[in-house]
């Protein structure tokens, strides 16, 4: 699964899932553009990977358009886009969320994804080839006390399907990866602040563990590769089996590990 000679842009690429995607794509031969609002961290990772750093506020449509034009001018046509930029929210009652908090989550996670996908994907469609992988979430597939984040991620899943149909005849594939509870710096901070209980997150999945950013990067790389040339419009959960586990609670919970018993 080689990306030799290809240019890949990863938004939110300076940390967490985005950084893992940058490292894996670079290791497989891609020229990686680390696009992030945190300029210093983007520059540090780009230097490590011999790539390009780009300061980008995904919430701005104009900034995304300017970024797409800049990458083309400096490096050439973009072959791959990973939209990993995003923020999380506090799990609170609906009435406890301020309008500003809702707007921020929607603006970054939903509209920001749209802005990046359209800016880079439209150029791919005009050239007749390319792949876009959006980062959604299992939160967009189930009810949770995340009253802005969950709807925003559900919108990302649906916009992925819409864009897959929009650009399919133009040679551009668009797919989503929906991470489960992933050990990113953001989740680590939430755990440290007492907003998440790691034992609950681990025990609520079929595999009994959380996901790593590297797990997500592997799924992204597959969907972006030629091995997935006939796959478009899908949403791939990478969640250690979280989606399949909760309904077993009505039957006494998941079976324990069988060990080496015959």
Q: Per residue in 159-171, is it b (16+ CB within 10 Å) or e — as a string? A: bbbebbebbeeee
**CA pair distance 131, 8, nearest whole angstrom:** 9
Q: Model pTM?
A: 0.95
Domain parsing of the chain, residue ranges:
7-236
pLDDT for the residue numbered 260: 65
Q: Are 79 and 130 in contact (CB under 8 A)?
A: yes
Q: What is the DSSP string of 177-213?
A: EEE-SB--HHHHHHHHTTSS-HHHHHHTSTTSS-B-H
**Which of the residues are catalytic?**
149
- Output the six-digit token pair for 72: 């083309």
- Output the six-digit token pair for 180: 């489960």
**CA pair distance 43, 236, nearest whole angstrom:** 30
**Domain 7-236 is in which class?**
alpha beta
Reported as a single tens digit per residue, the pLDDT across 47-73 is 999 999 999 999 999 999 999 999 999
- At residue 261, does pLDDT exceed 60? no
């Amino acid at each position: 699964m080689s990306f030799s000679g290809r240019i890949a842009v990863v938004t939110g690429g300076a940390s967490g899932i985005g950084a893992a995607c940058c490292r894996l794509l670079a290791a497989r031969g891609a020229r990686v553009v680390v696009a992030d609002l945190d300029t210093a961290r983007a520059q540090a990772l780009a230097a490590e990977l011999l790539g390009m750093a780009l300061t980008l506020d995904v919430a701005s449509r104009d900034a995304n358009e300017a970024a797409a034009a800049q990458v083309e001018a400096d490096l050439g046509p973009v072959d791959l886009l990973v939209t990993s930029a995003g923020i999380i929210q506090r799990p609170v009652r609906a009435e406890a969320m301020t309008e500003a908090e809702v707007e921020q989550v929607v603006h970054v996670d939903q509209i920001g994804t749209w802005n990046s996908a359209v800016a880079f994907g439209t150029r791919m469609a005009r050239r007749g080839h390319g792949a876009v992988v959006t980062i959604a979430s299992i939160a967009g597939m189930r009810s949770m006390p995340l009253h802005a984040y969950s709807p925003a991620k559900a919108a990302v899943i649906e916009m992925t399907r819409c864009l897959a149909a929009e650009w399919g005849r133009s040679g551009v594939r668009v797919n989503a990866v929906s991470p489960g509870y992933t050990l990113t710096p953001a989740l680590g901070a939430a755990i440290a602040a007492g907003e998440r209980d790691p034992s609950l997150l681990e025990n609520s999945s079929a595999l009994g563990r959380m996901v790593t950013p590297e797990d997500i990067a592997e799924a992204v790389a597959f969907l972006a590769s030629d091995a997935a040339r006939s796959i478009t419009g899908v949403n791939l959960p990478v969640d250690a089996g979280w989606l399949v586990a909760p309904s077993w609670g009505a039957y006494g919970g998941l079976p324990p590990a069988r060990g080496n018993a015959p």
